[in-house]
Structure 1
Amino acid sequence: MSFQHDPTKQDVLVVNKGYAELKNTNFSNGTMEFDTKFVGGRITGITFRQHDDVADALYFRPSADCAVSEECIQYMPTAHHVFEWDLYGQYQTHAPINPDGWNHIKLVLSGARMNVFINGARSPTLAVGTLVGGFPDGTIRLHGPASYAHLSIAPHIVDGLSAVAFNDPAKSDLRVVRHWLASTPFVMPSRMDATLQENTGIDPVYSSMPKETALWKPITPDPGGLINLTRWYGDAQTGQAIAGMWLKTTINTDHDQIKHVDIGWTREVWIFVNGKLAFQSKNLYGVKGASKEPGGRLSLTNGSFDLPLHKGANQVAVAIDDNFAGGQQHWGWGLEMRLANTGGIRPMGDAGANANAANAL
């Protein structure tokens, strides 16, 4: 990190790697503006409302096609120092970014919302309806590699932006499977897949799932019904080790039926219904033949399958891992699941999952 003099920008902060944290700054609501210049198309960004390893983040992927690329800029939360870009694809968009010159960035934060304006745009380049970093205020970090100049902060100036989060339709959508119990993370056994030329998890068997007497913890979903395992556990393992976890819930139905299910996940998943394998697949970023649309990110469009249910209580168990191609960085991992309809389904998860939670905790 260094300070340099630029004739057009005066004093410039150059962050070559890592980040520069603003001293004695506790930013909550207001307007933050700065100029930034990127380095050779390298990905960078800023984090705000930062508390230790938890923050909200604005991410830049500068490129010549930023004007049309939906991946140019993105909002995401961070937890355990992990940037969760692959879990929040709904908050990325194109932007009028100059990848080779200076860019003016304006952020307006108000409670749970944020508007981002790039290079003098009159309407928000990116509008975030629900900030989910976890804290209402905190410090600011400028990440490298990038140069920064003309940073200004105007507390409480929010240009009329509401502080109330957007309505989350998933909260009242009874099709969304929200009540899950999570096991303790473990190292997923793995092997080299000769076809994919990637290290992949060895198919787990149902009998390897922890017993009822093991520690099972309820997971509170993020907006959209996202079971965000990064928020709770980070990458759980380091280096080339793949982290795995079991999730389980109970679906009660008043008659035998087959229910179609949409599912989003990162990275490898195996789903068992009443002890029998019903679905397995991979969503490995950047791996041909194993990456799901959109772009290896989590979405309910990643896949679908039929859930065979019998009358009464049905256990749905999920083995999931955070296997990111290359094995050195794991990024976000999580799960979303939504039934096609709720015909014949009684409230999900409450009887079985909550009873299990009471017994286990």
Structure 2
Amino acid sequence: MNVTGSVVKINSEEVLKVERDLKTLPFDIKHLGATVNGPLYAKLKNTNFENGTIEVKVLSRIQKHTPYPDSWGFIGLAFRINGDNSAFESIYLRPKVGRSANEIVRNQAVQYYSYPDYKMDKINNTPGGPFETSADIGLNEWIKLRIEVKDQQATLYINDKKEPALTIKNMKGNLKSGAIGLWVDIGTEGYFKDLKVKKRS
């Protein structure tokens, strides 16, 4: 959905490469809020996920000829995607700033948003947060994500740490279930492997 995908090798291991397709969803740097945080994912076929755990390893690089010089390597997951891709929940990473010396920027390494009504340019000013946080992550390294979803709560764990990186106590979308997507945004080469989905009632 608005991305291209291919199987490539990293260190002799086959992984899935996903990049935003600018032909199907153009990017406008002058209207940033309107042209990012959209339906940008490789969507799993025949999945209907309500509650449970989604686990995947991701690796992010900045494209050599990125149309957005400030790209931070945006990569993550979308879930509870509805049938026409007009609504979903998402948690994604900005690995480039995970170890920034600037604390304000470093605290933006993880982001939750809900499409279409609570994108990045609105969600962080919405009561009930925080909806973003810091994480010890970087570009060009494998990062393990695990999102545990139960009803309206989503909890993100990174690299098997016992303490969650981010907990969203009340997700903003009203979808009860839907598909899962491997999500990327502008200027990012996104790589995915070892996807595991466990459904719970």
Q: Structure 2 length as normaliser, TM-score?
A: 0.70
Query: Taking structure 1 as reference, are residues 153 and 4 closer, same or farther at Cα in structure 2, changes over 3 Å only?
Result: same
Query: Taking structure 1 as reference, are residues 23 and 65 closer, same or farther at Cα in structure 2, changes over 3 Å only?
Result: closer
Q: Distance in 2 between matches of 1:64 and 1:55?
A: 25
> For structure 1, which segment, 22-31 or 64-73, has the greater mean C-alpha deviation from structure 2 after superposition?
64-73
Which structure's relative contact order is higher, taking Cα pairs within 8 Å and 6+ residues apart? 2
Residues 96 and 119 in structure 1, CA contact (< 8 A), matched pair in contact too: no
Q: Distance in 1 between matches of 2:19 and 2:131?
A: 27
Instruction: In structure 2, give the amino acid aligned to 1:3.
Output: V
Query: How many angstroms does 1:65 deviate by?
Result: 4.0
* Residue-by-residue CA offset, 1:9-28 (whole Å, 9 max, x unaligned): x3311002242110111111
* Correspondent of 2:59 among 34, 37, 52: 37
Other-structure match for 2:41: 19
Q: Distance in 2 between matches of 1:63 and 1:6?
A: 19
Does 2:146 match 1:111? no
Instruction: In structure 1, give the amino acid aligned to 2:94.
Output: R
Residue aligned with 2:191, SS:
strand
Residues 41 and 78 in structure 2, CA contact (< 8 A), matched pair in contact too: no
Q: Which structure has the greater CA radius of gyration?
A: 1
Query: Taking structure 1 as reference, are residues 102 and 26 closer, same or farther at Cα in structure 2, changes over 3 Å only?
Result: same
Does 2:124 match 1:84? no
RMSD over aligned Cα atoms: 2.0
Q: Distance in 2 between matches of 1:92 and 1:107?
A: 15
Residue aligned with 2:164, SS:
coil
Other-structure match for 1:198: none
Structure 1, gaps ≥5 residues long = 158-361
Other-structure match for 1:75: 112
Q: Distance in 2 between matches of 1:61 and 1:107?
A: 16
Q: How does 1:37-186 map to 2 (within 5 A)?
A: 37-40=59-62, 41-51=72-82, 52-66=85-99, 68=103, 69-79=106-116, 84-89=119-124, 90-144=130-184, 145=188, 146-156=190-200
Residues 97 and 119 in structure 1, CA contact (< 8 A), matched pair in contact too: no
Query: How many angstroms does 1:83 deviate by?
Result: 6.1
Q: Distance in 2 between matches of 1:130 and 1:3?
A: 36
Residues 57 and 192 in structure 2, CA contact (< 8 A), matched pair in contact too: yes
Q: Structure 1 length as normaliser, TM-score?
A: 0.40
Other-structure match for 1:191: none
Residue aligned with 2:95, SS:
coil
Instruction: In structure 1, give the amino acid aligned to 2:110.
Output: I
Query: How many angstroms does 1:98 deviate by?
Result: 2.4
Query: How many angstroms does 1:121 deviate by?
Result: 1.2
Other-structure match for 1:260: none
Identity %: 25
Instruction: In structure 2, give the amino acid aligned to 1:148.
Output: F
Query: Taking structure 1 as reference, are residues 72 and 119 closer, same or farther at Cα in structure 2, changes over 3 Å only?
Result: same
Query: How many angstroms does 1:60 deviate by?
Result: 1.6
Q: How does 1:1-361 map to 2 (within 5 A)?
A: 1-7=5-11, 10-17=13-20, 18-40=40-62, 41-51=72-82, 52-66=85-99, 68=103, 69-79=106-116, 84-89=119-124, 90-144=130-184, 145=188, 146-156=190-200
